[in-house]
Amino acid sequence: MKGKFFVDDSGPPLGHMILALGAYLGGFDGNFVWSRIGAEFPCGVSVWTLRLLPALGGALCVPLVYLLTVELGFSHLSALGAALLLLLENSLIVQSRFMLLEALLIFFMLLAFFSYLRFHNSPSRSWSRFCWLLLSGVSCSAAVGVKYMGLSSYLLLLGLASVHSWRQMGNRAVGHVSGAQSVLCLLVVPVLLYVFWFYVHLSILQHSGPHDQLMSSAFQASLQGGLSRITKGQPLEVAYGSQVTLRSSASQPLPCWLHSHKANYPIRYEDGRGSSHQQQVTCYPFKDVNNWWIIKDPGRQELVVDTPPRPVRHGDVIQLVHGMTSRLLNSHDVAAPMSPQAQEVSGYIDFNVSMAAQNLWRVDIYNREAESEVWKTIRSEVRLVHVNTSAVLKLSGVALPDWAFHQLEVVAEKLQKGHGSSLAWTVEEHRYGTSQEQKEREAELHSPTHINVDRKISFWSKFIELQWKMLTVKQEESEHKYSSSPLEWVTMETNIAYWLHASTNAQIHLIGNPVSWGVANLSLLAYQLLAMVYMLRRRRGFKDLPDEVWQRFVCLGFVCVGGWMMNFLPFLLMDRTLFLYHYLPALCYLHLLSPALLEHVHTHLTLRRGLGLCASAVLVSIFLSYWYLCPLTYGCPELSANQLLALKWRDSWDILYRRR
């Protein structure tokens, strides 16, 4: 909104951008802090424009379902039924009335299927046909762009399209053009658009924001404010004599920098092991003057940069001098304080004690293929390999106890297995040292760095990094009060409380319409049973249905049952915190299925009598249950505690009421 940078792990940026568009049109200035649930909007904020677009999307779903059912080849009556089911579904109403993304996702999903079927059904080779296909591709990419769950619908649509084009391939009368057309619209266009969303996202969000620290230094430096304020104009190539701060690439979510201070390792740890009693080296998550290190050529004494500077290259052996204490970064065969399997890292100075100096480190530039052989600020990811033991400087991530002020432990570890990012370090702040004397140098270290040169990284590398981060950033494994497991969704065991009035019992819950959920589950089972019977009988040569009807029946199953499966089954394998609203897209497909199946039974099986009566009875009860749950859907009228108790139809629903 304000152009600040943020990362959301649930989905790509399109959904958030649409919300922001609504806000922008309504004149929202982006100054409201979205801190906690239930906070009152100040009067300056026009809430309705914020919520308008999702609600619009949710509302448009109803006519879309109508059109989609017609397009699937069923009558207007069943189309009406499907629309009614969606219309009277309390959970969808709730979900689309707030600034949430599901309604938009469902809208784009349905739009994609509708336009694809329109394309498939229209006979002539015309421009309008091509337009439908294009629209389908666009809405697919929009669905994926809103939430990654859109991907499953997209894959289903691709499956449908590939079945169709596989059939077409057998037909030699059809040329290659139509195949190419489909590939273009359903594969190329969505991918391009998807990248385009990111392009817009990144070009709007130019300022640094709350999630900066997740990204690499190079990415951060490209955002305005934040890190780029500091790093602007530093010399690019690290040379002998450079003064640097080294940031660990592993320290998520907090950044931390290689640090040392005037305190030694305790002679004995709590568990009785001994240490070297040399100066501590840690990783410290705050900017500090003690994070500065100077790169020294082992063969020379000077700590200043020559003119011209001699850059450090991949494979060079260096020493690292701590700026404030002049200790050398050292490692030796002493167990580290918290990770005894690794070596201790310490700051070393020659006091003629028995331990020899082992303070040579080889620079191993890990991404030298992508960048260059020369050690560069921010860009190069460097591993520091200890020359004597070939151990690698590593952030173990364990917090040290009191004696090291709870800073993070740094060790040198033998295993260089894998290229884990915990081994890599990048130079973040950097300047060429000019003063030889210790006092002057300290003064120099305290002064801020700045010279002005601009540095950009390309859109593509930003895109790839952001994409990778979105897919890999893990929420902390935790359970929410209203979270639920996928199997509970089918029977709607749980609900989610969205809002409770500050003083009264008025409240809004995400609760589905129990009757229509029952109908949906029933029709899911009925379809599978029916399909099984039909298939077995067809295999034995009994053709109950004319081919055309059979095709339609299969297509219905492919879209609806397939859609349900694709949108539901993946959740069973997921490790994250899940909520009831994740089930809503799958539910929509089932609502599409029920009336169409009813029509099929009505026309092709002999169960005519009473079916109409049944259907209308079911509709009435759906309406009634919608009506009863209305107060929980719209938050008004306010109900008394007893009425609420009466609404608690299942024991496992958490409906809140105040004890008076």
Positions in the binding site for another protein (CB under 8 A)? 166, 169-170, 172, 339, 341, 415, 417-418, 478-481, 483, 536, 539-541, 573, 575, 652
What is the DSSP annotation of 556-601?
Answer: HHHHHHHHHHHHHHHHHT--S---GGGGHHHHHHHHHHHHHHHHHH
Comparing CB distances to another protein, the nearer of 315 and 612 is: 315
Comparing CB distances to another protein, the nearer of 177 and 573 is: 573
Residues 6 or more apart whose CB falls under 8 angstroms from that of 236 comprise: 376, 377, 453, 455
Q: Which of 102, 105, 125 is nearest to 113 (CA)?
A: 105
Give the nearest distance from C-beta 150 to another protein in angstroms. Answer: 21
Cβ atoms 293, 323 nearer than 8 A? yes
Comparing CB distances to another protein, the nearer of 353 and 415 is: 415
Comparing CB distances to another protein, the nearer of 34 and 166 is: 166
Comparing CB distances to another protein, the nearer of 640 and 652 is: 652
Give the nearest distance from C-beta 573 to another protein in angstroms. Answer: 5
Give the nearest distance from C-beta 396 to another protein in angstroms. Answer: 9
Q: List 283's β-bridge partners, or say none.
A: 258, 408
Comparing CB distances to another protein, the nearer of 124 and 478 is: 478
As a three-state string, the secondary structure of 194-224 is HHHHHHHHHHHCCECCCCHHHCCHHHHHCCE
Comparing CB distances to another protein, the nearer of 268 and 537 is: 537
Alpha-carbon distance of 628 to 619, in angstroms, equals 14
Comparing CB distances to another protein, the nearer of 40 and 270 is: 270
For residue 514, cis peptide bond before it (omega within 30 degrees of 0)? no
Give the nearest distance from C-beta 478 to another protein in angstroms. Answer: 7
Give the nearest distance from C-beta 412 to another protein in angstroms. Answer: 15
Q: List 248's β-bridge partners, or say none.
A: 425
Alpha-carbon distance of 311 to 482, in angstroms, equals 57
Give the nearest distance from C-beta 153 to another protein in angstroms. Answer: 21
Give the nearest distance from C-beta 411 to another protein in angstroms. Answer: 12
The pair of three-digit structure tokens given for residue 630, joined into one six-digit string? 């209305």
- Cα 239 from chain centroid? 39
Cβ atoms 362, 484 nearer than 8 A? no
Comparing CB distances to another protein, the nearer of 174 and 356 is: 174
Give the nearest distance from C-beta 341 to another protein in angstroms. Answer: 6
Residues 6 or more apart whose CB falls under 8 angstroms from that of 356 comprise: 332
Q: Map residue 631 onto helix, strand or coil.
A: helix
As a three-state string, the secondary structure of 65-80 is HHHHHHHCCCCHHHHH
Give the nearest distance from C-beta 166 to another protein in angstroms. Answer: 7
The pair of three-digit structure tokens given for residue 308, joined into one six-digit string? 């011209």
Cβ atoms 334, 358 nearer than 8 A? no
Cα atoms in the 13 Å half-sphere on the side-chain side of 41: 12
Q: How would you class 531 by CB atoms within 10 Å of its CB: exposed for 0-12, middle for 13-18, buried for 19 or more?
A: middle
Give the nearest distance from C-beta 523 to another protein in angstroms. Answer: 26
Comparing CB distances to another protein, the nearer of 229 and 538 is: 538
Comparing CB distances to another protein, the nearer of 241 and 337 is: 337
Alpha-carbon distance of 370 to 366, in angstroms, equals 9
Give the nearest distance from C-beta 481 to another protein in angstroms. Answer: 6
